[in-house]
Amino acid sequence: ILQHPDGTVLKQLQPPPRGPREQEFYNKVYDSDCCDSILLELREYLPKYFGVWSPPTAPNDAYLKLEDVTCKFNKPCIMDVKIGQKSYDPYASAEKIQQQVSKYPLMEEIGFLVLGMRVYHVSSDSYETQNQHYGRSLTKETVKDGISKFFHNGYCLRKDAIAASIQKIEKILEWFEGQKQLNFYASSLLFVYEGSCQATTVRLSDVTLAEKRGVPKGLLSGGDILEYNNNIHVINSTENGKIEASVSKGLSKFYALHKKAYSKRHHSQLSLKVENLEQGNMWKSSACITQEHLNGNVIPQLEKVFCHMPAEIKESANVEVRMIDFAHVFPSNTKDEGYIYGLKNLITVLQNILDN
């Protein structure tokens, strides 16, 4: 995959018949005259398509010009999961079938295969990468842990990203349950979520901690007020989103609940309405920060506090799940049961990670 200066990505057209078949698929779905509601909805789950592109210096080289799904992310975490019970199409030779089955015998049983992942670790400000050999090493017993690795940032499990991913897969599953036009083989889902916590300067005069740290709006409707009380002073923000802070008292005291009116706001106190924090143990990790001065580095313990916000009360995480790789898409008059099976199993695994 190459990157075009205009922000799109370029995928080189594969040799026939795979390349022309993928190009035909994109042309059909993105035809300007298309009025098929099934195909129009399918566009929501694909990268946008901008036709075929050739470099001026090599006019015979053809590339599919596609949306870069990762471009809006600061620290994109990326995972490629092949979906379906068969990674070979109906026209594959016996040799091809044997080759594909031997690569990952479990494909038929579990319906998906992790082809690779790249995960940003907040703790080390670096990426961990796993290739397809990692995915093929996963068994029925280890696949849950193998996928959970993608959602762990070195400090905590990003349950918000898991929950958002499940919702997006469910939408794709709904589409598959309602269509009998196309069957997909050796196609993948591309997962992308934001790995950084996007910390920025808190101006006490006009911005609340809730606005800067993404505390869900749903929590701002209760009667309890959580006050700043000068326990934490955020000094500034560095270019890569790391923040400096000094912590003068334990966060457990900082996050004490108070019944006070909003009139306190004009005293330069940062107030935050929260309803029943205790129920969600939202600040359970806060006790780990006591009497510390963090001298301009990222605040690992503070990140941990916010990462542990329960998924059900966080705002939807910044997550993309898109279908990719269409060199083996064929017309059909039946539901794509193999792809549906894989999606359902993947949802089950993600739900188990979330629940546990």
pTM: 0.70
Buried b (16+ CB within 10 A) or exposed e, 264-277: eeeeeebbbbbeeb
Q: Fold for 69-197+317-355, please state it.
A: D-amino Acid Aminotransferase; Chain A, domain 1 (3.30.470)
Q: For the chain, give every residue range classified as CATH 3.30.470.160.
A: 69-197+317-355
Q: Is the dihedral of CA 249, 250, 252, 255 positive or negative?
A: positive
Q: Assign 317 a pLDDT band (cuts: 50, 70, 90).
A: confident
Q: Which two tokens stand for residue 29?
A: 């779905």
Question: What's the CA gap between 216 and 316, in Å, rounded?
Answer: 9
Which of 179, 213, 172 lies closest to 320 in space, CA to CA?
Answer: 172
Q: What is the pLDDT of residues 232-285, one digit of tens each?
A: 333 333 433 433 333 333 333 333 333 333 334 343 333 333 333 334 433 333
Q: What is the pLDDT of residue 344?
A: 98
Query: Which residue type does 46 have?
Result: L
The answer to whether residues 228 and 207 touch, using CB atoms and an 8 Å cutoff, is: no
Q: Which helix (H) or strand (E) element contains residue 147?
A: helix 143-148
Task: At 261, list the tokens.
Answer: 């009116």
Lowest mean pLDDT among 3-7, 30-34, 76-80, 328-332: 3-7
**Cβ(122)–Cβ(197) below 8 Å:** yes
